[in-house]
Structure 1
Amino acid sequence: MSDWIVSLEGTEAGHQLAMMLALSAALLHAFFGALQKGRHDPWLSRGVIDFCYGLMALPFALFVVPWPEPHMWPIFAGAFVIHTAYKLAQGYTYTFGAYTVVYPVVRGTGPLFAVIGAGIVFGEHFTGVQWAGVFTLVAGIFGLAVYNLRTITVGRETMMPALMLAVLTGAFVALYTTYDAYGIRATADPFTFLAWFFLIDSVAFSVIAGLRYRSMAERPALGPLFSRGVLGAVVAFFSFGSVMLATRLDKVGEAAVLRETSTVFAALIGWLILGEKVGPRRLSLMALIALGAVIVEMGG
């Protein structure tokens, strides 16, 4: 399969597959966010998910994919630092702010920075039409955040630091998207990068969650927690793996923008599964996000 993926790089078939992978990642990322939003402590949920996908990656890294080339180890070290910082920023963002407000800010800031980063690192350049699509998508996402901010009644006193943290987290999203795209392109086999990334990335928050669990006065039952962890790990594998393969096959900026349609999918999940109200204004903003993604794709 690796040879087939590599053979599609830079081709029209590769472009089409990258688009499908990025949209699949968006849908799966929305499910991933909903899992972290559940009844368990978000730090524990994230740690258990990381622990589970580390265990799943271990046999693939050791026995299935080719061993990483020597120059990949510093790249993995950089990815470990960036992703740990991102998850810490995200954890504090969700701690201080309402999920429905800060999540769109994180996801709206990410693609804007990622497109700029891809231009600097990979020499990618968007057309004027594509930039119009980026700003349309970002306007819809931030509009959704503002709309949700106006409707919340609790936690408003911590909303300003939460929004600042959300912008910082969005910057980390752009940073890891660009850096990981560099990493997956630096190895001959893209699945080598994915397997070893998941194994190495699982360490930090597994330890953090274990320490947090030990310090709790009332510890949650491990069965339901690990059930959520296994499900989240599978979703993370396919979500992150899909968008990373998309950045190897085609433009990093386009993949980053298409992935942020996850905000639309998150709202649809909240409406169809969680029973949340959507209303005409949120529907209009969701349509604006989707329109921005279409403009980016059609303007390329």
Structure 2
Amino acid sequence: MSDWLISLEGTEAGHRAALLLALLAALLHAVFGALQKGRHDPWLSRGAIDASYATMAAPFALFVVPWPEPHMWPIFAGVFVIHVIYKVLQAMAYTRGAYTVVYPVVRGMGPLFTVIGAYWLFGETFTLTQWLGVGVLLSGIFGLAIYNMMFLETERETLKSALALAALTGLFVALYTTYDAYGIRATADPFTFLAWFFMIDGLFMPPIAYLRWRRMAHPPAPLPLMARGIVGGVVAFFSFGSVMLATRLDKVGEAAVLRETSTVFAAVIGWVFLKETVGPRRVALMALIALGAVIVEMGG
């Protein structure tokens, strides 16, 4: 599997595979965000999800894939620190703001700074048409956030802090996207990076979530929480794993932009499962996001 995947790097088949992987990551990332923001406290949900995917990844990391090369250990240390900060900021933002307001801001900041970071780190460049696509996509994403904010009925007293945290979280989305792309390209076997990434990345949040659960006056029942964690862990494997493989196969910037069509999926999820209103204006803004992604892809 690894040899076949590596053979696709830099080929037209690799480009098509990266496109499909980025779109799959977009859909699943929206599901992942809804799982964290949904019924339970976001800190508890994230802790349950992280515990699940770390436990599932450990046997593969320790016994199946080749062990990381010595130069990978400092890279994994950087991955751990960046993702810890990102997850803390994200949980704080979700605690203070509505999902359909916070999520577009987080995801809107990500692709812009990822494209810039990919230029500095990997020498990637976008054509003028692709930059137009980025602008169209971002106008849809931020327009969606502004529209949701205008008609927000709850959590208005914490809206400013939620938006500030969402913007900062978006910067860390860009940072982890480019850094993870660097990491998965630095090892011979991409599945070595993925297995160790999930095992290491899942170590921080579970103890934090447990302490938070213990301090609650009315903590939720653990079994439904863990069930959500298992589902979220499986989704995380395919969501984060897909986009990281896409960044190995093709341009980091393109994968990052295409992944942010997750905002469209998030709006649909917010409407269907979280009972948040979707009207014609939001549909038009979601169409802008999709159009921007198409322009980026066609302009390359």
Task: Report TM bin, short chain.
Answer: over 0.9
CA-CA distance at 1:144 after TM superposition? 0.2
CA-CA distance at 1:103 after TM superposition? 0.9
1:22 corresponds to 2:38? no
Gapped regions of structure 1 (runs ≥ 5):
none
CA-CA distance at 1:250 after TM superposition? 0.1
CA displacement, residues 198-234 of structure 1 (integer Å, 9 cap, x when unaligned): 0001111011111112222222111101110000000
State the distance in 1 between where 2:28 and 2:157 align.
32
1:185 corresponds to 2:191? no
- Matched-pair contact (CA < 8 Å) for 2:134–2:292: yes
* Structure 1 residues 269 and 98, CA gap change in structure 2 (3 angstroms): closer
1:242 corresponds to 2:246? no
Superposition CA RMSD, Å: 1.0
State the distance in 2 between where 1:122 and 1:203 align.
29
State the distance in 2 between where 1:204 and 1:128 align.
41
CA-CA distance at 1:274 after TM superposition? 4.4
After superposition, residues 57-72 of structure 1 pair within 5 angstroms as: 57-72=57-72
SS at match of 1:203: coil
1:84 corresponds to 2:93? no
State the distance in 2 between where 1:284 and 1:180 align.
33
1:161 corresponds to 2:161? yes
- Matched-pair contact (CA < 8 Å) for 2:247–2:255: yes
User: 1:55 is aligned with what amino acid?
Assistant: T
State the distance in 2 between where 1:106 and 1:235 align.
19
State the distance in 2 between where 1:204 and 1:196 align.
14
Map of 1:260 onto structure 2? 260
* Structure 1 residues 218 and 29, CA gap change in structure 2 (3 angstroms): same
CA displacement, residues 222-280 of structure 1 (integer Å, 9 cap, x when unaligned): 11011100000000000000000000000000000000000001112233444543211
SS at match of 1:188: coil
1:170 corresponds to 2:176? no
SS at match of 2:39: coil
State the distance in 2 between where 1:245 and 1:56 align.
19
State the distance in 1 between where 2:276 and 2:168 align.
28
Map of 1:286 onto structure 2? 286
CA displacement, residues 47-75 of structure 1 (integer Å, 9 cap, x when unaligned): 01000000000100011100000000000
Deviates more, 1:205-214 or 1:235-244: 205-214
Gapped regions of structure 2 (runs ≥ 5):
none
Superposition TM-score, scaled by structure 1 size: 0.98
State the distance in 2 between where 1:147 and 1:271 align.
14
Map of 2:228 onto structure 1? 228
- Matched-pair contact (CA < 8 Å) for 2:100–2:270: no
Identical positions, percent: 75
- Matched-pair contact (CA < 8 Å) for 2:99–2:270: no
CA displacement, residues 16-52 of structure 1 (integer Å, 9 cap, x when unaligned): 0000000000000111111112211110000010000
* Structure 1 residues 160 and 270, CA gap change in structure 2 (3 angstroms): closer
The structure 1 segments of at least 4 consecutive aligned residues displaced by more than 6 Å after TM superposition are none
CA displacement, residues 166-195 of structure 1 (integer Å, 9 cap, x when unaligned): 111000000000000000000000000000
State the distance in 1 between where 2:41 and 2:153 align.
21
CA-CA distance at 1:157 after TM superposition? 2.4
User: 1:233 is aligned with what amino acid?
Assistant: G
CA displacement, residues 54-104 of structure 1 (integer Å, 9 cap, x when unaligned): 000010001110000000000000000000000011111112222211110
CA-CA distance at 1:298 after TM superposition? 0.2
SS at match of 2:202: helix
Map of 1:217 onto structure 2? 217
User: 2:38 is aligned with what amino acid?
Assistant: G
SS at match of 2:204: helix
CA displacement, residues 116-136 of structure 1 (integer Å, 9 cap, x when unaligned): 000000000000000000010
CA-CA distance at 1:159 after TM superposition? 1.4
